[in-house]
Structure 1
Amino acid sequence: MKLVSVPVETLSVPFRDYSTWVKITSPERPAPAALPLIVLHGGPGMAHNYVANIAGLADETGRTVIHYDQVGCGQSTHLPDAPADFWTPALFVEEFHTVRGALGIGDYHLLGQSWGGMLGAEIAVGRPDGLRSLAICNSPASMELWVAGAAELRAQLPPQTRDAMDRHEAAGTVTDPEYLAATLEFYRRHVCRMDPFPQDFLDSEAQMEAEPTVYHTMNGPNEFHVVGTLRDWTIIDRLGAVEVPTLVVAGEFDEATPATWQPYVERIPGARSHVFADTSHCTHLEKPEEFRAVIGTFLSAHDPADAARN
């Protein structure tokens, strides 16, 4: 496949007393009706690196693709001394609208991966002007469902792996090498099934480990031991407020098990789902072309020209 070099611009957007780093990927050949896509990364606190390849949609669909590092991580302002109650979904909803306003974006599509999908749903239930579609990728509708799904997947791990997890979590020794090795076994099955992990994934993970404030405060030490401020989060009872076309995607072996994302499909009017075979939580890294094809088709179906024909 011929590679096309697309223009990329980076800038900083003032947000409160902080700064949010933004990357804008513009298409080489813009499609007149193609609305911009704003991508929300996961974590919280994992930065945009591991979802950077979604920018391929710029060339493939003729639309601008916008990534940004949410405050507290990546190339945005770090706040290691902020109190736990500073880190709320409302903070990141506010940041999103600040970025969108600073860029002068009117109508747009929104895609969120993992925590980013949760954030996307938080944005969508507010019925903001300009939002034309929502893609929720590998995301739970509540942390209670997420924890229950993780427990089911942990039960399928080898006995010695489960024992190591249980012992170290009970003792609070979650940085012990034995515990980290057990965690890696879970990740290779249900987070990213690529061996070795791709560099974009490693880059996001490395920056989180270097500055873990957001991830550790809101989530916890890893994907399945959720003890942070998000542990009681749910959006299930608010999903009926989402008015835009919604696509929910997940991987066959995703740590976001079907029970975790089914409420999105059941409660958002007209929402539909797509499960990618032989993938896990990082579907977009494991099957990037197939992922972008499915997302691109969905976005194009809800660009203005297509909407007018339907």
Structure 2
Amino acid sequence: MNRRSFLAATASLATAAIPTSAPALPSAVQPDEILTSQPDGLNPPGIRTAGIKMLPVVGGKYKVWTKKLGSGPIKVLLLHGGPGFGHEYLEALESFLPQAGIEMYYYDQLGCNNSDQPDDPGLWTLARYTEEVEEVRRGLGLEHFVLYGHSWGGILAMEYALNYQQHLRGLVISNMTAGTQSYLKRTAALKLMLPPDKLARLNALEAKEDYDSPEYEKIMMDDLYPKMICRVQPWPDSVNRAFRHANDKIYSQMQGKSEFLVTGNLKDWERWDRLREIKVKALTIGAQHDEMDPDDMKKMAALMPNASNAFCPNGSHLCMWDDQEVYFKHLLRFLHSV
């Protein structure tokens, strides 16, 4: 019996076993630490749920997973990268934000990790994901909040700001440029870091479009990703889990088969000429060794009317891990400033 069948079969028994009211709380527990007792499709009503809440998206057809950590007047919704990864590699943030009095929300986008994973290619579009973020905002009851987007999440954050800026208190675009062409220019340059023999093999495999070969993956994982994705060795468990749980179907449809060739539905995405429309207070974050050009992050900040830029000199794409001190100094300063 699969998980969904098991849950359906035991739903009536579980309902019968649940008390009609929540158990009494220790006096030290404040009411705002309790999630709503309304059913969300995952948790029984009337109990504390460790901040986890399932929210309806696509008009209620599917549900996505969210988790609240910390409590405070500054509320930050996190948009993870990919497309097709989950929130896990962002777990570094929970070592810094809640302790600083910042309320943060993980959210696995539809098709990713803990959220529903329908096999429907029609769902994997930028426009639908943008509307999904708005559905999540409403489901969490967020207003005047900070939207944080990393990598692909940065694309999503820009799109959301261009459509729903009235709900935002602040915007963080971490390690994402404002257009596919500038991204491809940067990755083409980084590919040249390879030794001549491996560069020749990578080019030969790409010429045959043999992106799924073990040799291609080995060159990426052994020679390129440790330089431009995450320079901490070994990789933190959070990063490894994110890679293990990635949804390759979403990545392939939206990005393509390779970091160096965008053939998916993001291939024509460009927002450089619209950045001036984002007037909310914003922060862009770049890193020296990132697969995104840090100069692009500076340029983006200059084009937005109320933005600043942070630079991580020792970081790569996941500079929240490999340049933590600098990354969180800038991020926390910005969050407290809004």
Which bracket does the TM-score occupy, shorter chain normalised?
Answer: 0.7 to 0.9
Match of 2:18 in 1: none
Alignment check: 8 A CA contact 1:149 1:259 kept: no
> CA–CA distance in 1 between the matches of 2:198 and 2:90?
29
Partner of 1:156: 193
Q: What is the aligned residue count?
A: 287
Q: Is the 8 A contact 1:145 1:259 kept in 2?
A: no
Q: 2:69, 2:98 within 8 Å by CA — same for their partners in 1?
A: no
Instruction: Give how far 1:264 is off.
Output: 1.4
Structure with greater Cα Rg: 2
Contact 2:146 2:168 in 1 (8 A): yes
**In structure 2, C-alpha distance between the alignment counterparts of 1:263 and 1:116, rounded to whole Å:** 19
Q: Decide whether the 8 Å contact of 2:255 with 2:262 is kept in 1.
A: yes
Say whether residues 1:194 and 2:232 are aligned partners. Answer: yes
Does residue 173 (structure 1) correspond to residue 210 (structure 2)? The answer is: yes
Q: Which residue of 2 aligns with 1:40?
A: 79
The residue number in structure 2 matching 1:4 is none
| 1:279 alignment partner in structure 2 | 315
Q: Does 1:134 align with 2:178?
A: no
The alpha carbon displacement at 1:81 in A equals 3.5
Give, in whole Å, the separation in 2 of the partners of 1:102 and 1:166: 46
TM-score, with normalisation over the residues of structure 2?
Answer: 0.81
SS of residue in 2 equivalent to 1:126: helix
CA shift, 1:297, in A, is 0.8
Distance in 2 between residues matched to 1:261 and 1:63, nearest whole Å: 24
SS state at 1:67 partner: strand
Q: Which deviations, in whole Å up to 9, do the C-alpha atoms of 1:227-250 show, x marking residues without a partner?
A: 211111111111111011111111
C-alpha separation in 1, matches of 2:164 and 2:51: 29
* RMSD of aligned alpha carbons: 1.6
Unaligned segments of structure 2, at least 5 residues: 1-32, 34-49
Greater length-normalized contact order (CA 8 Å, ≥ 6 residues apart): 1
Which whole-Å CA distance do the structure 2 matches of 1:82 and 1:231 have between them?
17
Q: Is the contact made by 1:133 and 1:244 (CA closer than 8 Å) also made in structure 2?
A: yes
Aligned to 1:288: 324
1:99: how far off?
0.8
Matched residue, 1:111:
148
Give the TM-score of the pair, scaled to structure 1.
Answer: 0.88
Task: Map 1:229-248 onto structure 2 (within 5 A).
Answer: 229-248=265-284
Q: Are the aligned partners of 1:127 and 1:241 in contact in 2 as well (CA < 8 Å)?
A: no
